[in-house]
Amino acid sequence: MADPPWYRNGLRFACTRCGRCCGGGPGTIRVNEAEIATLAETLGLSDAAFRKRYTRRLRGGDISLIEKDNHDCIFYDEKLGCTVYAHRPRQCRTWPFWRSLVHSPETWAEGAEHCRGLNVGTLYSTEEIAEMILDDGTSASRRRRTATKRSGGAAASRRQTRSDQL
């Protein structure tokens, strides 16, 4: 049996809506078909109009939201915060429980230097964190989900976590 993760007692997080995770450097915010449809409906656009105005195709075929010139998410407003917060993509909903951030106490501590919500608020269990890591909306999680489906494992679509509350 594998050793328990370093966060075996769980991790705390409460979104402060500061927006620090919404920009600061180039990146990708991957969106799937359902997320595109939801965001398009929220903005009163057709899927095609939303795609044309707000997305770009990445190498490998994934679709990402575009960024502003300063690398902030296209939906981040300095005064309002995330303008689509209630309908934000899974990648945004699962922050900060991305594999790359919970990899070690050191990477978590580095994240806490930039995010005031780490180590405060709701305590997430090891199991909840593991579920979010498996399907965090990043490119790595998409590869893991594909591998899991091919191996006959549980499909990510059956998973329900508190990430919807993040």
- Res. 145 pLDDT band, cuts 50 70 90: very low
Can you give the pLDDT at residue 91? 93
Residue 162 pLDDT level (bands cut at 50, 70, 90): very low
Q: Does pLDDT of 135 surpass 80?
A: yes
Residue with tokens 């195709």: 57
Q: How far is CA 11 from the centre of its chain?
A: 16
How long a stretch of residues is the chain?
A: 166
Instruction: Look at residue 23 in the predicted model and tell me its pLDDT.
Output: 85
For the stretch 56-73, what's the b/e string if a residue is b when 16 or more beta carbons lie within 10 angstroms of its beta carbon?
Answer: eeeeeeebbbebeeeebb
- CB-side neighbour CA atoms (13 Å) of 87: 14
- Of residues 136 and 1, more confidently modeled: 136
Q: Where are the domains of the chain?
A: 11-165
For residues 95 and 59, the answer to whether their CB atoms sit within 8 Å is no
Inter-residue contact 122 to 14 (CB < 8 Å): yes
Q: What is the pTM of this model?
A: 0.78
For the ranges 27-31, 125-129, 145-149, the one whose mean pLDDT is highest = 125-129
Question: 66 and 60 in contact (C-beta within 8 Å)?
Answer: no
Residue 1 has pLDDT above 80, yes or no: no
* C-alpha span between 64 and 55 (Å, rounded): 5
- Residue 150's pLDDT is 44
- pLDDT, tens only, 73-104: 999 999 999 999 999 999 999 999 999 999 99
CA distance 144 to 58: 18
* Selection from 60, 62, 57, 56 nearest residue 74 by Cα: 56
State how far the alpha carbon of 103 is from the alpha carbons of 7, 13, 19, 130, in Å: 10, 16, 22, 11
What are 2-58's pLDDT values in tens digits? 789 999 999 999 998 888 899 877 788 999 999 999 999 999 999 999 999 999 999
Contact status, residue 55 vs residue 65, Cβ threshold 8 Å? yes
pLDDT at 140: 56
Let me know: does 123 contact 11? Beta carbons within 8 Å. yes
